[in-house]
Structure 1
Amino acid sequence: MTRNVKSISPEDTVRRAAELMKELDVGAVPVVDGAKLVGMLTDRDITIRSTAAGQDPSKTRAGDVMSTDVRTCFATQTVEEVLAEMGDVQIRRVVVVDQASHSLVGIVSLGDMATKHSASTDQALGEISQPSDSKA
């Protein structure tokens, strides 16, 4: 897992979020209100929910376009449990939260899993890569 993850507030602008994504070379940033995880903002969220809608990135708040149905896991869960969840819902990253406070601890990505547990990742990658029935 990646620890010391940078995050944004729901009040930050989409422009600030995009700048942080560029700086960190990532496609998603957690959105936290205080210590509480309230969403995730992805480059896809910015493109589909903000840019395609003609919103001004300097005025649009991250909280207005973030995804709120964020899948999380605990640091104590097994690799197999987390990979199964990732495969079931076709996601490439999961936010790791503290079991007691549900505050942000880190992010685990499929890439993280692949470098440590390549045999376990094969099935999850196949499931994650299946075409989705829904259209964004």
Structure 2
Amino acid sequence: MKVQDIMVKEAKSCRPNTNLAAATEIMWTNNCGALPILDGGSKVVGMITDRDICMAVGTRNQAPSEIAVFEVKPKPQEVYTCAPDDDIHAALRTMQTRKVRRLLVVSNEGALRGILCLDDVALNARKRNGISFDDVVETLQTICEHRLLRQAAAA
């Protein structure tokens, strides 16, 4: 199975100068937890999550409408990506290695084509089309492993 078979193809996005109130509205309206950040065209320069927004608003004495995305996610930002024709298991390995639940799907030129979320992978595991629940659980365990190690060290 390929990434393009299950990725969200109509991924919503924002620009670096978008304010956090507007970014939150896009997420709320489209029921998503992350937005790719695009330059003036369609090239990906970053990603902002609902957690990024909550932490920024919670740690600053400013209204969300007064904080721009670039203030929270300054460039350059490492962005974890995959290609539409990548095998889904290769994308899961990238998620495991990078400890992320989302990958931006980009063309060879870096243009946004969609987003792949671990949630979408889990939903497709039910259909038995090359993805197993074990694949999803293993990926999630690997992503969360750093938390478990910190908890064990603190105990």
Indicate whether the TM-score tops 0.5: yes
Q: Which amino acid aligns with 1:10?
A: P
CA contact (8 A) 1:42 1:66 kept: no
Q: Find the counterpart in structure 2 of residue 114 from structure 1.
A: 122
Q: Find the counterpart in structure 2 of residue 96 from structure 1.
A: 105
Q: Extract unaligned runs of 5+ from structure 2.
A: 1-6, 125-130, 151-155
Q: How many angstroms apart in 2 are the aligned matches of 1:55 and 1:88?
A: 35
Larger-Rg structure: 2
Q: Extract unaligned runs of 5+ from structure 1.
A: none
Q: How many angstroms apart in 1 are the aligned matches of 2:21 and 2:104?
A: 22
Aligned pair count?
133
Q: How many angstroms apart in 1 are the aligned matches of 2:33 and 2:10?
A: 16
Cα displacement (A) at 1:131:
3.7
Q: Find the counterpart in structure 2 of residue 15 from structure 1.
A: 21
Q: Find the counterpart in structure 1 of residue 128 from structure 2.
A: none
Cα displacement (A) at 1:55:
2.6
The TM-score with structure 1 as length reference comes to 0.88
Q: How many angstroms apart in 2 are the aligned matches of 1:90 and 1:51?
A: 24
Q: Tell me which of 9, 12, 31 is aligned to 1:25.
A: 31
The alignment-based identity, stated in percent, is 32
Is 1:126 aligned to residue 141 of structure 2? yes
Residues 89-119 of structure 1 deviation map (CA, whole Å, 9 limit, x = unaligned): 22111000002x2100000011111222224
The TM-score with structure 2 as length reference comes to 0.78
* Partner secondary structure for residue 3 of structure 1: coil
> Between Structure 1 and Structure 2, which shows a larger proportion of strand residues?
1
When the two chains are superposed, the root-mean-square deviation of aligned CA atoms in Å is 1.8
Q: Tell me which of 82, 86, 92 is aligned to 1:77.
A: 86
Stretches of 4+ aligned residues off by more than 6 angstroms: none
Q: How many angstroms apart in 1 are the aligned matches of 2:78 and 2:61?
A: 24
